[in-house]
A and B are shown apart, each in its own frame.
Chain A
């Protein structure tokens, strides 16, 4: 025999739970979904971002923005300026008889035109006298999405024209334009393409951690609260197997499915990175990275499973266990929120925290930045310790008569 007789009960229960749950459609559906939905969520999101960004760029740079102008002839210089800035001026002609202001507002509010520029009737006179010349830009602020970009571009171009003319006027009077520019703001973005990716990649730990939990959830419930509800826990406890072995076997079966789901999600994500054409993402997840992430995050599988089995053991029924575990799923995502907001560097002070440390390992590994192996060892050891502690409490609970409910 491959195993010591002492652990016969353990292996028998572990094997039975695995076979039993492989026949459970819920378990299989969860795993099947994990390999498809994980990447779909991730890349659907990325694809959407990229599409939006592309459309934005197209709109701003490639295609001229169409701008209907009323009274264009009163401001030929401004029209030239607009044309130079890739804005296509379209002369707007309205019936002279009707109320022009109202007619314009109606055109925009009804969505016929995105925006209209109205040159005031005394624009030319005011301009010549170096006074503030009025123009009116009519738009609909309830319009959302990329259409808004046209409006803000026109606004910026107009503002630039205004400040350029202002500067010229000052210079003509022998004054430095700097007088009306007390400070100059210089912005430098030093982010590399990879680092910008990593911002999006903070999603990865969420997905992975959640699927690790989901993958083991049904077993955690089925082997504890489910078994009790089914009335088979008591017969099982009358078998000549130590309760600690029964508990550990159930925990191990849960971990098997959780780890399997974890691996499937990782492979799914890696394949998607390879075959889904998203130009803005220049990340590759090869099999080496998958292996590193899987092995170094494996201890978290035990933490998650021990936590779920422990909670499910406390509950009285399948349904109660389900609702509690739904909430428990939030616990390991809290450190990941912190990870998303603060983006800490891996260090001794954070690599002992389960879930947070795995999140860091996942992100850094995908980015191709190696984490010092002592830090990875710290993460693994600490998580194993947490798992051992939770398992110990669960075993203690199983020694208690109350487990029979």
Chain B
């Protein structure tokens, strides 16, 4: 018998798993003497995992009886998760210490959430995907409620837990029906079945895949399964919100590509119509709700719904350019959102703590660097060239045009135009409004460094997008 246990195939999750236990131990043993030992250990582990991921870039193939893929797609997403994780952890202590919730468990839960995501992106079996998703979700439920003394944080955690458990039911029922129809939970066998079946969505396959899609779109916060996200994002501690709005979304899209991306297999008109309607609803509802927000944190929460809609356009186009555009976009979206939330948190300390838009008044003169960085994030989220956000949208929309979804792209571009209003409102506030007397900005070096890294990444990948796009394209080709 061939025991297919190739441990190097799961090197990154192994480092994260060992690291999470190590962080817990260092916090218990050294936490009293050196307060930030857990923080430093976590950063070291994430950097180590990143180096491993980069030097042993996936070359294809699978391990553990086809349950885990070791291709470029896995490595690409692992790198994206680790980058977001690193940036979030880097700027967390400021928030945690100020709110008196500076516990080592925070870092451990972030590491375990990342562990779950790596398995979602590398899953070759529905079972692995499901376990990865649940590991990630359980960590996020707790992280959302990490600020225990604040009622809003508790509300956020509870809402996410109850709705998450409800949608897990959909996901599992879908998996059970797919398993019943195909006779296997292995993704390769499922795609073989879809390729060979005369009517791919016949029998229980159609309803099974539809329920699976509902479970996944919940995690992506796609309309009409988005109701949780504004409240959950708003109530969670801000670094956690930055984390939740980027990495899990990328993980859900990675899993969706793994399960549903089969070029050459037509799933049929009803399937496309459903995705079309979901994409249009998600873009439009997110946009119009964001217009009405006065809190920057809620505005960013609704804007993240809109961006899920843009990504769905690429998912629907489902050709090589569209899928690699999604990878590019997801990677850059991590930088944009983490950067924006980081600055929103820092600026919020000037005001009353409600993330009011007016807290941004006169930031342009008080702190030109932060204002410039925030402008970069806002312009990139809008999709203004030559920033990275523009190229993400460009690739996705041109892929959709190639596939003949002209009206969908028209709607998407119109939505981008609407979004200019609420993104630029932040900039107008910063540069053109007289503010009331607001406290000065505090010095928070780690937070500033995070924002600078995010801003630089957006500029660099905006000016030179092709290396990253080539990497994304190679990952997608490996997926075929």
- B partners with A: no
